[in-house]
Structure formats: structure tokens, C-alpha cells
Structure 1
């Protein structure tokens, strides 16, 4: 990025080699090219720019390249140079939004039209049209292709957060989302962590096969999503174990574990669950790992009692 930024200084040659421009215009454009190119090269060597600095680079860089092409005295070279604006359009596609891309694309195509008019006067409209089409194609295709790739990769990242069988979050993604929840303001809510372990799941696999077991896990994932609030964070901890965390009013937090247990038992698959929960008032100094351990202990108590039931613990203070 430092090298690409420094290359903007070369646009000064476009003005300096043009004999028809006033000296003031030559000097102003050349100084602007050198200052912007060198300034952004130094900025990139020092570290990442801010969002505003990055956006300004895309727009200033695209504007300088477009202006340099218009100032280039050789019409064909000027027209072909307009394809260079696509580099700044690609940069905008990587790091910014459609509005930023549009501004850069307008710079490139507008400069291309002006340069194509000059080419037509010398070499005819056939050459000018072919060159202009190349400019338009590159200035549109490069940002569009890059933005498509970026969005596709973004969708893959989202999908990589999900457990492919049950549709809930995997363990890593659950911890990431839960950490975000714990930093949000509580507003007189209670934090509830629910550990869920399916009862005698191995017997289900042995009796009906692993396909039936997978279908049961998929159904449980759907039940948990349907029975929880929209703010709940739901994850699969591996095997037949699930976890739900939510910030809710006291009455909702108290009802949630039993409701999840009943919903799993009511599913069309022959499966029940032992459910343990830890419920604390928001802001009591609770640590996520400690709450999970407390909920896990409650879940094992439910399992020892025979399963298909709920145990709730209310730690006064955990995690310090």
C-alpha cells in the first residue's frame, strides 16, 4: 500500500509534460500529487490509517489519477491511463462501501469520456470507443469482483461460526458472542446460563442408528432457537451438550430452563434432556467460566436425579 500510494507522485509528470497548461496549474497539480502520494506512503509505513484517512485516500487518489490522465498530452496514453483508476476502485471495494466505490468509478469513467473525445479527434471514433469500453469495463469489473469476493468470504465467516448439524453457534463463536453480551449494559436484568445434556443419547444412537441421532440433534437445535428469546445466545458445546445464555427480566430467566426442558421432551424425537441453570442478577461480578461451571454442576444434579428435569442454582457472587 505504501508503494501504491507513492506511485501517485508519478501523476506530476502528466502535468509537467503538458506544454499547453499554465505554469500555475502545472505547479499546483504536481505539488498536490507529490504531497498526497508521499504523505500516504509515510502513513502506511507507520501503520493502518483511520477510516476517514483511508476513504480520503481512495477519493483523492482516484481524483489525482483521473486528473493526471486528462492532463496527459498524448490522447491514447491518457485514455489508457484511465484504467489505473480501477486500482483505487478496488481499494475502496476492499475497505469501504458502495458509495465510496461509486465516487471512484465516476472519476474513472468521466476522465475516460474526456480522453476518448480527444482520441476520436485524432484516431477516429472506432479507436476511441474501444478504448473507452476498456476503461468502463475495468473501472466497473474490478471493484465489483472484489466486493463480491469480500461479501462471499464474509458469508463464509458467518457460516463458520455455526455448528453445521444443529445450526446453533459452535463453541468458539459462542464464547465470542457471550463476551459481547457481558459488556452490554444490564438495565436491571438477570443473567441466565443454561447447560443442556441429552439423556441416554448413546442408547438412541445404538437403537436407531447415527442418522436418527443426527436428526434428534438437529431438532434440538431448532427447538432451542424457537423456545429462546431473540436476545439469547445458543451454542453447541460438542456431542449432545448445548448451552444457552440470555439477559432477561427475573421472571423470564426463572422460567427459561424449565421451558427448554419441556420443549425438548415435546419434540417428535425420542429424546429428553437434563437441564441445569445458573441465574444471577446483572452486575454481581459474575465471570462467564464460573457461571458455566455452576450451570454444569446443576445439570449433572438433574441427570443424577433421573433426567428430563431442571435444576437451578443462584450463586450470590462468582468470579471474584
Structure 2
């Protein structure tokens, strides 16, 4: 049961599908496109009890859950919880040449500061731009004030290991670390994409800031399609490198981690973000109870075409284990 869009008949549809304003609701349904209203009413509300959101809306809590499950996560160097703690920031960072500072309750990559090294008393970002110690403290203060957090709530700042991505992934991401997003329903992987940075996105793997969305085949772990600002591309706009046909490292382990994240949170519908470190391998970065819908553009496939078969499977076989769920997803959604 493949939903490949390689045929001559299907190709023109998917090249234009992002231009939603010229599509009627009936046409979108025929394409299997899931919009925000459908996502919320049909998949989020029935499957994600509100009480479980606290497990994933706070990255510190999610990391603790993951570690209890034996999953690898980026090492936490420190946590800044109050303005008073910022006085010790320089001391905390003095032994670290590279690190990441992020809000515990952030979303969409907002507030993430990546530092690659130090030079002449300045912190160096992947782009080569410099941050003074005062600027880093100011950034942390903004995190504490809730500038980047969900609902503007006061937050805490995490200081973490700076992931060194596997070389094959670094090559297709401009001055930034790419990550992998998987969307899950009832523990079945339904769709995956690689998010790769561009010059425009300033080293961040955020599609809304100009990063690339690169669809990944669930069965093989190879990239099958790429988009930039919703338009299909085959090469990186900055490096010129080919984006299609790239094999994700440790793909089976990545799928296992994603399914485990569903089991440990109890959420029925979720997104799992991972990175592949050159030395450590796959790392769980975060879990999202409200995964976005741009993954459909990256794959050229409407989510409904993946979610409906999983709904039926889960109803008929509610007790399937991790291996069975992965096998079903590979068999049903694989493109090659």
C-alpha cells in the first residue's frame, strides 16, 4: 500500500498543493491534506488528554522521562532558573567551548541559541557571528521572562551539549544542525522529514524561517522529496548539494526511539524530534503534542492518507508492540 507521488499523473498536483487559496475544501480532502481544524478535532483532542501535555511541554521533564526509558538525550550542563542564577553563567560556561541554550517551554525553535566556540572573549555562533557575554546573559534573561515560551509563561533556561551531527547530515545543512521530525499516531510512525538549515534560516532548522523540509521514506529512511518555502527543490539553495536519495543513519533505531516516546508519554498523536550525533548516534531532542502540518509539504502526501490506515489498524489490533507497529508502518507507507 504505497502512496508514492512519482507518477506523471500525480506530480502536477503535488507541485501546486501548497497554494491552498486556489483549492476548495473538497479538493483538499481528496488530496488527503490535514488542516489545523481537522488535526485538532479528529486527532489531537480525542487522543491527547490535557493532563499529559505537561509531560512534553517542559523539556526538562521530557528528558527525565526519556532517560528513565534508556533513551539517549543531549547532556544537560546546567539549568538557569532565576535572574540570580545568571550571575554564575560565565562560570558555568567557562569550561564549555560549545553548547546550546534553550527555553524549557519553548516551541518552534524559538529562543534556541547555538554556540560553536569561543574566540577573543566572544561566543561564536555557527554562522560565524559573535555574541558577547552580556548578550548571552540578556538572551537568558529573555528566556526567563517567558519571551519564547508557550503562552508567555515564565521559564527556565537549559544549557545542553551541542550535538555534532553525523557528517552526511551536516553536508546538507548550511551552518546548522539538521533534525528529524516523525509524526506518530497510536505509536505508529506515519510520516517523517529532515529539517535542514539554510543561510536564510541562520543555522536554524525551522521551516518558517527559511529552512528546508526534506521528506523521508518510512521504510528505508532515504530522503524522497524536498521543499523550500513550500516549493519543490532538488538541491540545497546555498551549497548546491543533492537532497534526494540520502540515507538517514541508524534509521531503525530512530523509529524505535519515536515509538518509545509515544509509549512513555501516553499521547496518541505527537511529533518526535531527533538528531543524529556523529559519535553518540540518535538523540531524542523533544516531543511535541501539537506537531505542525508542514511535514505534508515535505513528503508531497496528505497526512490523512497515513492516519486513516493507522486508525483502522489500531482498532483491529490494539495490542501491537513496538516491532509490530514499525513493521506495519514500513510495509504500509514505504515508497520503495
Q: Tell me, yes or no, whether TM beats 0.5.
A: no
Please give the TM-score of this superposition, normalised by the length of structure 2: 0.20
Flag the structure with higher strand content: 2
Structure number with larger C-alpha Rg: 1
Q: Which has the higher contact order (CA 8 A, sep 6+)?
A: 2
Flag the structure with higher helix content: 1
